[in-house]
Structure 1
């Protein structure tokens, strides 16, 4: 894993000594090595690099004569991405730029997908059973689910509802019977499938 080494406060206060360029093909640390008094360092990737790199924090405190490692994660790229890393110390009093290039990783898995030739052929269709066999199958599923009692109860309820509607002879009652019939029919269809 390549390391981007940056020396701070080497020659003078807030001095930044960094390489002119840096190349990586994956995540990397920026090692901030402070040779003097404590300092704050701001790291900023320009727009092109910002799309493929990530840093948890951009502002870093480095104590007197201490070293701080800043992890930079990178996204997988298909082609090299170039940009600049801006390094700022002393609250903007000194700035240095490093040309950074993120190359495709040689370990990036092949993104092509192998397709089995069987998948390219249309699926074989099973023939539909005849209507009589479908009705027998539906009735068989209804009986297996214990739906005979429910079916008998539904028929009796529909019969009573029709009888009440005929006796009362009201449009509202006929509407209610129609809705009840549709619900019963829908429930019967759902229980069979």
Structure 2
């Protein structure tokens, strides 16, 4: 992406050093590089260029020895469009014009990605599998998804909860263990689905 570099306050107060001409084939930044004290800069495109190029705002404050990037968006054009960018500092005390040309984009437009219609249909399930084969398939999916470690830790947590409930013999602990068992069962069903 080309950059329109503008130096401010280089040789004198409100001095503007910019190229005589600039060309771009798409959006570009105007880089305001301030070499001195803080300043206000006004940027404006003439009528021809204003039809295809736009600034978010025209007035910009650039702090002491700072750099400010101003984004210029451009419309798609079929043929080059020429115009002038007016750069003003010191509330009109110094003005500089840059001849700007916006060319047709050299980038090729992205082609849409073709999506196979088969991807929009849900996967086919074979309802006539015997229960043992369905269990083996579910276990295989669990292993492929890395759920064995989670299943082992869940089983150990439920076993520890049951042991605690037997040791304490409290209805509240049994309720918590039952709830944990239901959550573990639900997670296991989601993992193999």
User: If the TM-score is normalised by the length of the shorter chain, which range does it land in?
Assistant: 0.5 to 0.7
List aligned pairs for 1:1-193, cutoff 5 A: 1-107=1-107, 109=109
| Partners of 1:19 and 1:25 in 2: CA distance | 17
CA distance in 2, matches of 1:66, 1:108: 36
- Find runs of 4+ consecutive structure 1 residues off by over 3 angstroms: none
* Conservation of the 8 A alpha-carbon contact between 1:42 and 1:89: yes
Unaligned runs of 5+ in 1: 111-193
TM-score, normalised by the number of residues in structure 1: 0.56
* CA deviation after TM superposition for structure 1 residue 3, in Å: 0.1
Cα offset, 1:109, TM superposition: 3.4
| Alignment deviations for residues 148-179 of structure 1 (CA, whole Å, 9 cap, x no partner) | xxxxxxxxxxxxxxxxxxxxxxxxxxxxxxxx
Contact persistence 1:76–1:108 (CA under 8 A)? no
Q: Deviations over 1:72-98 (max 9, x none)?
A: 000000000000000000000000000
User: Which ranges in structure 2 are unaligned for 5 or more consecutive residues?
Assistant: 111-193
Normalised by the length of structure 2, the TM-score is 0.56
**What is the root-mean-square deviation of aligned Cα atoms in Å?**
1.1
Q: Alignment length, in residue pairs?
A: 110
Distance 2:58 2:25 in 1: 21
Using the TM superposition, give the Cα deviation of residue 108 of structure 1 relative to its aligned residue in structure 2, in angstroms: 5.1
Please give the alpha-carbon distance, in whole angstroms, between the structure 2 residues aligned to 1:104 and 1:3: 17
Larger radius of gyration: 1
- What CA deviation, in whole Å up to 9, does each residue of 1:16-49 have, x standing for no partner? 0000000000000000000000000000000010
SS of 2:48 mapped into structure 1: helix
SS in 2 for 1:85: strand
